[in-house]
Amino acid sequence: MAATSDQAAEQITEAVLHNLAGTGDARLGEILQALVRHLHAFAREVRLTEPEWMAGIEFLTAVGQACTDTRQEFILLSDTHGLSALVDVLTQDTPAGATESTVLGPFYLPGSPARANGESMAVHDPATPAVIRGRVLALDGTALAGATIDVWQTDSSGFYAVQQPGTQPEDNLRGVYTTDAEGRYELVTVRPVEYEVPTDGPVGDLLLAEGRHAWRAAHIHAIVSCPGYRRVVTHLFDGDRGYLDSDAVFGVKPSLVRTFTPASADDGSTVCTLENDFVLVPEQG
Ligand code: BEZ
Ligand code: FE
């Protein structure tokens, strides 16, 4: 770029930053100024052309248009490009011994049914049953009675109930379990499988263009809450399944990988069990 156009480009960046300096909310101003600085630097670095700028606009428009009440293509874009995992790592300062957080993903639906300990949330699934039991503890080892574990996962074909209305019952493989007086819970489900994040939208097209796969390592989602403690949004990963090293959304943390133990049930069928404690950090801690 000629020196004069370099100067003109610099002046545009400076003018925008100057205009943003009066943003009423100081934090919003800080975020917007940094965003403009980085966006302009990005355009300079790659020497963004007008057709490329328009392709970007059209892509983001398509991402917005793919969003519905039950599909969040922007979260998928953020997840598949590591922004969600980065924000998680930057904002969660989990002390050693506490359960680590990971990405929420786009398929969490509040309002799952309350389930009794020992009740199966697999309303409709022929896959290998799994029993996950343990306690919710405070960092100092105190058992937490009345803690809730809001759980959701895909069925064995790799889809969440929310993705398949009319095929799966809406409460399939989701539920809220509550710990008993000793802080114990027992959730009954199916062993999780690897699955592909949705590839039938603009983010799928982008993954294809990037030459990347869309597989997530097999996991069960959980949000663990208890009054007085920090809520943790986390996963339990199945350590015997694939994609732990190449999860499409960069969500795997070694401390979240578990071993499910297969055992024979009385009727000869296989049941997997997993002993797992969740450990919460006090709100002031
Ligand atoms: C999920 O684990 O549900 C998920 C996370 C990120 C993108 C798509 C799905
Ligand atoms: Fe998931």
Q: Which ligand is closest to the CA of 197, given by its number?
A: 1
| Residue from 154, 213, 249 to probe ligand 1 pocket by mutation (most atoms less than 8 Å from CB) | 249
Q: Are residues 39 and 143 in the same domain?
A: no
- Domain residue limits at 41: 5-48
| Residue from 76, 163, 200, 206 to probe ligand 1 pocket by mutation (most atoms less than 8 Å from CB) | 76
Q: Are residues 89 and 41 in the same domain?
A: no
Q: Are residues 14 and 115 in the same domain?
A: no
pTM: 0.90
Q: Are residues 41 and 136 in the same domain?
A: no
For position 227, which CATH number holds?
2.60.130.10
Number of domains within the chain: 2
pLDDT of residue 2: 61
Q: Are residues 133 and 222 in the same domain?
A: yes
The answer to whether position 61 is within a domain reads no
The answer to whether position 202 is within a domain reads yes
pLDDT of residue 209: 97
Q: Are residues 105 and 206 in the same domain?
A: yes
The tens place of each residue's pLDDT in the chain, 285 residues long, gives 566 688 898 999 999 999 999 999 999 999 999 999 999 999 999 999 999 999 999 999 999 999 998 889 999 999 999 999 999 999 988 999 999 999 998 899 999 999 999 999 998 767 889 999 999 999 999 999 999 999 999 999 999 999 999 999 999 999 999 999 999 999 999 999 999 999 999 999 999 999 999 999 999 999 999 999 999 999 999 999 999 999 999 999 999 999 999 988 788 888 899 999 999 999 975
The answer to whether position 226 is within a domain reads yes
pLDDT of residue 275: 96
pLDDT of residue 16: 96
pLDDT of residue 106: 86
Q: Are residues 26 and 157 in the same domain?
A: no
CB 192 near ligand 1, within 6 Å = no
Question: Whose Cα sits closest to atom 8 in ligand 1?
Answer: 197
The answer to whether position 144 is within a domain reads yes
The answer to whether position 276 is within a domain reads yes
Ligand 1 atom with minimal separation from the 198 CA: 8
* Cα of 197 from ligand 1 centre, angstroms: 6
pLDDT of residue 267: 82
CB 106 near ligand 1, within 6 Å = yes
Q: Are residues 210 and 272 in the same domain?
A: yes
CB 105 near ligand 1, within 6 Å = yes
Concatenated DSSP letters for the chain? --HHHHHHHHHHHHHHHHHHTT-SSHHHHHHHHHHHHHHHHHHHHHT--HHHHHHHHHHHHHHHHT-BTTB-HHHHHHHHTTHHHHHHHHH--PPTTSPPP----TT--S-PPEE-TT-B--SS--S-EEEEEEEEEETTS-B-TT-EEEEE---TTS--GGG-BTTB-TTTTEEEEE--TTSEEEEEEE----EEPP-SSHHHHHHHHHT---EEPPEEEEEEE-TTB--EEEEEEETTSS-TTS-TT----GGGEE-PEEEE-TTS-EEEEEE--EEE-BTT-
Q: Are residues 81 and 172 in the same domain?
A: yes
Q: Are residues 42 and 85 in the same domain?
A: no
The answer to whether position 167 is within a domain reads yes
Q: Are residues 116 and 10 in the same domain?
A: no
The answer to whether position 56 is within a domain reads no
The answer to whether position 234 is within a domain reads yes
Q: Are residues 167 and 232 in the same domain?
A: yes
pLDDT of residue 3: 60
